[in-house]
Structure 1
Amino acid sequence: MKHTICHIVTKLELGGAQFTTLFTVAHLDRVRFRPILITGEPGLLDDEARKLEGVEFYQVPSLVRLIRPWRDLRAFVELTRLLKSLRPAIVHTHSSKAGILGRWSAWLAGVPIIIHTIHGYGITPAQSRWLQFLLIGLERLTGLITTRWILVSEADAVKGLRWKLFGQGTFMVIRPGADTRLFQGSPLPISDTGKFRAECGVGLEHLLVGTVAPLKPQKAPQDFVAVAARVCARVPAARFVWVGDGELRPGVEAAIRRAGLEGRIRLAGWRRDIPDVMRAMDLFLLTSHWEGLPQVLLQARANCVPIVATRAGGSAEAFVEGKHGWLCDPGDIEALAAQVIRLLMDSAERDRMRRNGGHIPNEFNMWVALRKREQLYAMLLAAQRRGVPSEAELRERPTD
């Protein structure tokens, strides 16, 4: 008997949570599971999701990221109606809005097992204290109907325990994996990385510092520009590229103009040839103010690119400081710039870090992570068939 597993995500944009969700539904064991994907407002990956073989795809346009009370109510009603008709054995939600509305819709629809993955919290330092308090309370309340939580980093697990969102034995850490077929010197055909550098106006004599991320507050692109300004003043050969797009693009473009860096920083927009992009970089820079566990850091590490990143969320768990790169506090422009300058001026240090790269631990392999999710589904389904799971069953952990 196949069990219907329904994944719900707010928007299929280019991001770690979305790639993890798509990979999961695309590769779930079809002998045991029937995968369904529900998403909300239109995103860049919608067409890719529709083409997934053997995956049923549904869209609820009223499900949007921003808080819109009337649209949220409509999304809740539509999700509940859809889940009642699909009758899944498990609902697995991702992202903040889908996590709240999806879990309550699943509960009202009588879904027996409800799982939520936290790919980094929607409770952020950019929010007011009262809003953070409200969101923590809402997550605590929704936790009462959540069968199991999945965290992508130990840092998020510690934070969730501190906020009392869940208790010991009701959560587990499953890493977001990197697709090792595309990284770690894979045999897949890779184009000449000089092509990307040429598109950015970067020659062999230049040092290219880059990042891959959406232009949104979480990723702090204004900090990226501020770091670039300090680095360019000290390192004439330095060039910067931001691969990604988003709501903050007009403001970032204005900041680049104000700094007089139009010829030194390029906004490259979204690209899908990330292995080529990574291989073209001399240094990877991530300026995030908050994170779950950024897959781009795993990709940079696997692709032998030295890293400078902030200690946001689980970033420190993605690579070994001093071996693959360096960490700084979020928002510390001077420290970030100093580390970038030091590495750009020390080719021997960069070469050492490149030699240390090219491998990621098994826990970060996407296929290993997928098997752990499947084992969790099977364990919870077996426990549900036997009745209310015991404390020992709740504390059981799927193995590698």
Structure 2
Amino acid sequence: MDTVCHVITQLELGGAQEVALHTVSHLDPTWFTPILVTGPGGLLTEEARQISRVQVAMIPALARAINPVRDAAALIALVRFFRHCRPTIVHTHSSKAGILGRWAAWIAGVPVIVHTVHGYGVTPAQSRWLQWALVRLERFTGWITTHWIAVSESDVRKGREWKLFGENISLIRPGIDPQPFRQDVGRGARERIRREWGMQPNEWLVGSVACLKPQKAPEDFVTVARAVCAAMPTTRFVLIGDGELRSAVESRIREAGLENRIHLAGWRRDIPDVMRAMDVFLLTSHWEGLPRVILEARASGLPIVASDVGGTVDALKGYQQARVARVGDVDGLSKELINTVDQLISSLPDRPQPGEFPREFHIDEMVRSCEMLYGELIQKWQIHAHRRPDKTLRSELNSRH
């Protein structure tokens, strides 16, 4: 049985965290022993600890903020942990854990090192010199990376442009379980949730689910809401999430005079019910890997208006109820949103119904693809190390999937 360590900086609510958590909790226990390595804090930490078959290892020094002393301590702690548990595979997620985790695995002699790109840590919000330095750090770390996983075609293209990898790259989508989003909560439950947010029966609700941080551009959400509310007084907006920009968003709402039109709901865990209470989903992100929340909105059958960022177009391929605008184009997003609500009004009383959900975005397909990749990488390592390849693992995974 092979030990697989998934490493992520912090178990906050987010797509990368949910992907890592679901993967470790659903790997075939007859072939893999999963360990989740993370830093302290994060709303998903307790949920992870409740999974009986997954060991959660806490590295106190592992944190998102860059701190040379603390980062060095995290690197040393990771090396010690890997030497102790002797994993066959270390699989890292996110930028900080991706750099520290891969170098710690290499120093500890871990034979297979995998990294998933959930959107690169190189962002438009950074200075040019910092972007230059981060690309070269990723390229340097790529030398010790056995295999890369990308969640979107755009990340594959960008990685090739930056010369991060050659052929050692796989496209594995960050899947979801669509079933909870396709179950109608019923009119009573839908109206109850809408009343919580001050909705009137004849109003249209535009919503989003996002951490309030620069990546998600929540201030653009407010700007779009101001334009749409001015043109369509029967619209209201709800933003599910919290984060570092909450105060700035609240100030922007007050400046726009939209205190009664935009509701900041904080974090909620009943996202399938929340989605069914919305009429339109809005994504204003400035950079992404592949936003799983778009998949959730699609599974719910919601009309979607989104910025054309990262893997958004991948997630919306073949979906007829989607409109996109350029990243940061609040006028374009506002126009597309007004057109979408107009279309909903003209189609009353019918509500859009979910269509067929693409198989490649199912969460069990994501886990299956990871297991198959692990099997291939382990077999290659065994051959390279002049060990007898475990053909049983590969054949069993093939037959099971």
TM > 0.5 between the two?
A: yes
Q: Do the aligned partners of residues 189 and 80 (structure 1) sit closer, same or farther apart at CA in structure 2, a change above 3 Å counting?
A: farther
Q: How does 1:190-229 map to 2 (within 5 A)?
A: 192-229=189-226
Equivalent position amino acid for 2:237 in 1: F
Residue 356 of structure 1 and its aligned partner are, at CA, apart by 6.4
Query: Distance in 2 between the 1:305 and 1:352 partners?
Result: 15
Give the 3 Å change call, closer, same or farther, for CA 326–120 of structure 1 in structure 2: same
Once the two structures are TM-superposed, the CA of residue 346 in structure 1 deviates from its matched residue by 2.0
Aligned equivalent of 2:284, options 284, 287, 304:
287
CA contact (8 A) 1:190 1:276 kept: no
CA drift at 1:321: 6.9
Structure 2 CA distance for aligned equivalents of residues 131 and 41 of structure 1: 27
1:125–1:107 Cα change, 3 Å: same
Match of 2:391 in 1: none
Aligned counterpart, 1:298 = 295
Q: Give 1:355 deviation, angstroms.
A: 4.1
Q: Which residue of 1 aligns with 2:313?
A: 316
- Secondary structure, aligned partner of 1:192: helix
Q: 1:277 aligns with which of 249, 274, 278?
A: 274
Residue aligned with 1:30, SS:
coil
CA distance in 2, matches of 1:71, 1:91: 21
2:142 and 2:160 mapped to 1: Cα distance?
A: 12
Note the alpha carbon deviations across 1:125-184, whole angstroms, 9 max, x for none.
Answer: 1101100000000000000000000000011100100011111x2001000001123123
Change in Cα spacing, 1:363 to 1:321, as seen in structure 2 (3 Å) is closer
- What is aligned with 1:394? none
- CA shift digits 1:39-93 (9 cap, x unpaired): 0131111100111121011111211111111110110111111111010000000
Question: Residue type of the partner of 2:307?
Answer: T
Aligned position for 1:366? 363
Structure 2 Cα separation of the partners of residues 352 and 142 of structure 1:
55
Partner amino acid, structure 1, of 2:14: G
The 5-angstrom pairing of residues 32-71 of structure 1 reads 32-71=31-70
Aligned residues of 1:36 and 1:57 also touching (Cα < 8 A): yes
**Structure 1, gaps ≥5 residues long:** 390-397
Deviation sequence 1:243-296 (CA, Å, 0-9, x none) = 000000000000000000000001000000000000011100000000000001
Q: Which residue of 2 aligns with 1:99?
A: 98
| Residue of structure 1 equivalent to 2:169 | 171
Closer, same or farther: CA 372–164 of 1 in aligned 2, 3 Å: same
Q: Take 1:16 and 1:190, find their aligned partners in 2: how far apart are those partners?
A: 29
- SS of the counterpart of 1:318? helix
Q: Cα distance 1:350–1:242, how it changes in 2: closer, same or farther (>3 A)?
A: farther
Residues in 2 aligned to 1:196 and 1:185: alpha-carbon distance in whole angstroms: 16
Amino acid in the other structure paired with 2:289? G
Sequence identity, in percent? 52
1:91-130 equivalent positions in 2, closer than 5 A: 91-130=90-129
Gaps of 5+ in 2: 387-396
d(CA) in 1 for partners of 2:213 and 2:45? 20
Cα distance in 1, alignment partners of residues 192 and 131 from structure 2: 45
Number of equivalent positions: 390
Q: Counterpart of 2:157 in 1: which secondary structure?
A: helix
Q: For 2:366, give the aligned amino acid.
A: A
Secondary structure of the 1:214 match is coil
Is 1:382 the counterpart of 2:379? The answer is: yes
Which residue pairs with 2:394 in the alignment? none
Deviation at 1:185, TM superposition (A): 3.1
Q: What aligned pairs does 1:72-87 form with structure 2 within 5 A after superposition?
A: 72-87=71-86
Q: Distance in 1 between matches of 2:65 and 2:350?
A: 40
Q: 1:302 to 1:352 in 2, by over 3 A?
A: farther
Query: Could you report, residue by residue, the CA deviation over 1:373-395 in whole angstroms, capped at 9, with x for unpaired residues?
Result: 00111111111111169xxxxxx
Amino acid paired to 1:162: E
Structure-1 separation of matches of 2:55 and 2:38 = 11
For residues 201-240 of structure 1, give each alpha carbon's deviation from its aligned partner in whole angstroms, at most 9, with x where no partner exists. 0122110000001000000001000000000101010100
Displacement after TM superposition at 1:299 (Å): 0.7
- d(CA) in 2 for partners of 1:290 and 1:224? 14
2: distance between equivalents of 1:352 and 1:155? 38
Match of 1:342 among 336, 339, 343: 339
**Which string of whole-angstrom CA distances, capped at 9 and with x for unpartnered residues, describes residues 342-362 of structure 1?**
111222677799646343211
User: Alignment partner of 2:106: what SS?
Assistant: helix
- Equivalences for 1:146-157 in 2 at 5 Å? 146-157=145-156
Matching residue's letter, 2:31: R
User: TM-score by structure 2 length?
Assistant: 0.93
1:70 and 1:189 mapped to 2: Cα distance? 53
Are 1:191 and 1:276, in contact at CA under 8 Å, matched by a contact in 2? Answer: no
Distance 1:53 1:349, change over 3 A: farther
Please give the secondary structure, in 1, of the residue aligned with 2:182.
Answer: coil
TM-score (norm 1): 0.94
Conserved in 1, the CA contact under 8 Å of 2:181 and 2:275? no
- Is the Cα–Cα contact under 8 Å of residues 76 and 105 in structure 1 kept in the other structure? yes
The range that moved more, 52-61 or 284-293, is 52-61
**Which whole-Å deviations, capped at 9, do the CAs of 1:315-366 have from their partners, x for residues lacking one?**
1111137712101001101110011111112226777996463432110000
How far apart are the structure 1 equivalents of 2:348 and 2:317? 16
Specify the alignment match of 1:260 in structure 2: 257
- Is the CA contact (8 Å cut-off) linking 1:282 and 1:306 kept in structure 2? yes
C-alpha distance in structure 2 between counterparts of 1:174 and 1:67, whole Å:
29
Q: Is the 8 A contact 2:302 2:352 kept in 1?
A: no
1:393 corresponds to: none
